[in-house]
Amino acid sequence: MGDEAVCTLHHAGKTFSGKALLESSEIVFRGGTRVKIALNAITAVRAKDGELHVRTKERLTIFELGPKAAKWYEKIANPKSILDKLGVKAGQSVSVMGSFPSGFLTHLKEHGTSITKSKIPRDSSCIFLAADEKQELDALPSIAKAIQGATALWLVYPKGQKIITEADVRDAGLKAGLVDVKVASFSATHTALKFVLPKSKR
């Protein structure tokens, strides 16, 4: 979930009042006009006197955010890595089920994690399950039975697709006896939903 703030926007020579939302991949402003700035399009950013100055190749946009300007600057200038977002720590054992990009697996290895594919050792701290269509959710009940204690299951699925939706993923997790506790942007095309055992079953 993004960080929202009421603010004044200076954009393209005009000033607007409205709300700005800092998401994991973009800043969105609504109010009098709609402005969307992808974080990977930002060439320079700074915070000064409660203002966030965001420069792209096209123009400079200024958000009057007050105390949040410095906080947003830190998030934009020093973004968390995907493994930070997912809470994966160096030295942990993780299980990977399904098809993931090779870059993600490389990132896990470089992070110092121990990776097991297609099965779940007892010492797994995190389980990653890729589901690009509903049929792949059929694996959830057996995976849920292998979860112990505070082990987390991150279910990774496509964004904005009808073939598998957030409701499909959440319902499948709940039916398997799990509870969803967090959502994170996995990539430009995929979302990750975190499931854990209810506290009463740990």
Indicate the pairing of strand 60-64 with strand 3-11. Answer: antiparallel
CATH code of 32's domain: 2.30.29.30
Average pLDDT over the chain, rounded to an integer = 92
Per-residue model confidence as pLDDT tens digits over 155-201: 999 998 999 999 999 999 999 999 999 998 888 789 999 999 998 88
- Structure tokens that stand for 137 in this block: 């959710």
168 and 137 inside one domain: yes
pLDDT reading at 81 higher than 70: yes
pLDDT reading at 123 higher than 90: no
40 and 55 inside one domain: yes
Q: Which domain holds residue 40?
A: 3-77
pTM: 0.68
pLDDT reading at 1 higher than 70: no
60 and 134 inside one domain: no
90 and 183 inside one domain: yes
Per-residue model confidence as pLDDT tens digits over 32-46: 899 999 998 999 999
Distance CA 81, CA 11 (A): 30
pLDDT at 84: 85
Per-residue model confidence as pLDDT tens digits over 136-156: 999 999 999 989 898 999 999
pLDDT band at 102 (very low <50, low <70, confident <90, very high): confident
pLDDT at 9: 97
The one-letter amino acid code at 88 reads: V
58 and 142 inside one domain: no
111 and 147 inside one domain: yes
Q: What value does the mean pLDDT take over residues 37-56?
A: 95
The backbone torsions φ and ψ at residue 82, rounded to the nearest 5 degrees and listed phi first, read: -60, -35
Which residues, 6+ apart, have CB-to-CB distance to 167 below 8 Å?
Answer: none
185 and 172 inside one domain: yes
Distance CA 196, CA 198 (A): 6
Residue where a domain terminates, one of 77, 112, 134:
77
Into how many domains does the chain fold? 2
Closest CA to 190 of 107, 131, 115: 131
